[in-house]
Structure 1
């Protein structure tokens, strides 16, 4: 496991504490949002229609989270919250469009934190905004990613992949989390691999892995676990400091014996994964609307009924407040030059 700096260790501990708080029924009264004086008047949203954009096609994890959250958020705001899917450019099309939305909070998006943060840090072509331009409402789920190989591929362990002659990853597009994670793993672990883009959504990319059209992919563990349990995919590596509770026999990136440069890249990749799946708004949201949205989202994701629905669909909630996301954005902005260069190189290859 990495010897992290005290600040990173403290931040990881904070994330763990917040995740535990999110499952408690009385978390509304003890959360950062509730205790920070936020959650002001939401009367400006009464009777409005709020659009929650999913940057991918229907059926994936982002879509599931949005549809679980939407009715509860609507009740908190006194609004109708409708979910719209706006697939394209690995999730970046919707985010670029959000930048032009009226800054009144009636258009929000659930964002691919890893993919967007990676693209923004890389200064990737097609991203027309900086990460700190966005209005951070709150993170609803972590993104503990797992590297899997299809059952029809010849790969059963990470060692098999390290000896591979051209391992092919499936990706929904340049800038997506599966694109960023795959390219960084190729560099960190130094194996012969390439990323195949162009799949229309996570369902199509996963089907390509299961059929054997490509060798494997990276993806959120909560979205891959069903295929893993069915035997359609073999888990090879968890992109985290520690092993996943549901995959105790699968190694974690943080426990591998890496060189100094590779270890630093791995640390930054794991830190970036903490961004998870946040809900964000356009730039320049007035403070009263931002405060309302933050508290309303917090109240929604700590509602026992929502938590029960999320558990039923195997979509765990892991809350991080908007203010804490702002702090994380600052931390990501301080990422090493080597990490940013690796991200740029990945986007150029794409």
Structure 2
């Protein structure tokens, strides 16, 4: 009897493996929960192209912006767990559920709805202003803002997003009063800064490096703990006396119930993509060096980072 049960179990496992052997069976959609032009989109496009080659099926990027990223993330959380819908998210995935709780509304998703596949980048955000602004460095910026509370503003990708939280952390540390202007994503916020609608913002280097090199924007400081490869002369806020750190990482997820054979195939493909020199070159050129972590290591990193972000959101409190 026991032998029969064991044999039946082995047959079921083999059948399950065969059922997913042909994955993917059709085009795969990679949802980016922000508009084009932001860090997640910049990373997703070369990754999706290379991932499609590894999987033998096209991987199409779909921008599903809204609610600071919650709309698109929620779409993937509710998607069929068959590996044909992927998520390329930023660290805002850790922030938004707690923000919804603070606002006393039902979260559009919860973290246990997702299974991580790989982290691709982990960029400290950078404080940038227009190149024609009067501020040549962070000390001048902080002094002017300090003398004129409420006069200046900053843009973000939305309330509690990865451009909002680091600025609030800085405001608390430096005792600055800046007006928050939320947009629908990093791309629109950067456009607003370039157009003079906002005075400053914090975002990943990939969103602004080209504009810095073109002389349109100026970086004053960053939220990292070591020099940035893309902006080596820009000081960290920590070195300037403000012990705040924030990484705008990008990572790929699938719905939590995705079968293990599909997860393993995606992990193997993601690792090859992360190690592909052509992919690294494109992402590096945008200002985001590859900081790859496979699923187990990334899960541990994510657990710690999510706690830090939850604490930061609670400190910000309710925004109506």
Deviation at 1:124, TM superposition (A): 4.9
Change (3 A) 1:101 1:311: same
Alignment RMSD: 2.4
- Which residue of structure 2 lines up, in the alignment, with residue 150 of structure 1? 130
Give the 3-state SS of the residue equivalent to 1:44 in structure 2.
coil
Deviation at 1:223, TM superposition (A): 2.1
- Which residue of structure 1 lines up, in the alignment, with residue 110 of structure 2? 130
Does structure 1 retain, via aligned residues, the 8 Å contact 2:67–2:184? no
Q: Distance in 2 between matches of 1:151 and 1:237?
A: 14
- Which residue of structure 2 lines up, in the alignment, with residue 81 of structure 1? 59
Deviation at 1:179, TM superposition (A): 1.2
- Which residue of structure 1 lines up, in the alignment, with residue 217 of structure 2? 233
Structure 2 residues without counterparts, runs of 5 or longer: 1-16
Which of 186, 189, 202 pairs up with 2:174?
189
Q: Distance in 1 between matches of 2:281 and 2:139?
A: 39
Deviation at 1:330, TM superposition (A): 2.4
Does structure 1 retain, via aligned residues, the 8 Å contact 2:154–2:178? yes
Higher-Rg structure is 2
Which of 163, 171, 174 pairs up with 2:156?
171
Change (3 A) 1:127 1:161: farther
Deviation at 1:180, TM superposition (A): 1.3
What TM-score, normalized to structure 1? 0.76
Q: Distance in 2 between matches of 1:52 and 1:222?
A: 19
Please say if 1:255 is aligned against 2:239. Answer: yes
Q: Distance in 1 between matches of 2:215 and 2:33?
A: 29
Change (3 A) 1:225 1:347: farther
Q: Distance in 2 between matches of 1:332 and 1:278?
A: 13
Q: Distance in 1 between matches of 2:60 and 2:121?
A: 20
Deviation at 1:176, TM superposition (A): 1.9
What TM-score, normalized to structure 2? 0.83
Query: 124-133 vs 178-187, which deviates more?
Result: 124-133
Structure 1 residues without counterparts, runs of 5 or longer: 1-39
Please say if 1:299 is aligned against 2:284. Answer: no
Query: 302-311 vs 90-99, which deviates more?
Result: 302-311
Does structure 1 retain, via aligned residues, the 8 Å contact 2:119–2:294? yes
- 1:165-206 CA deviation, whole Å, 9 max, x = no partner? 233110121132111111111112211212111x24323211
Please say if 1:332 is aligned against 2:299. Answer: no
Q: Distance in 2 between matches of 1:124 and 1:95?
A: 19
- 1:41-78 CA deviation, whole Å, 9 max, x = no partner? 97231432210011122233322322211222122222
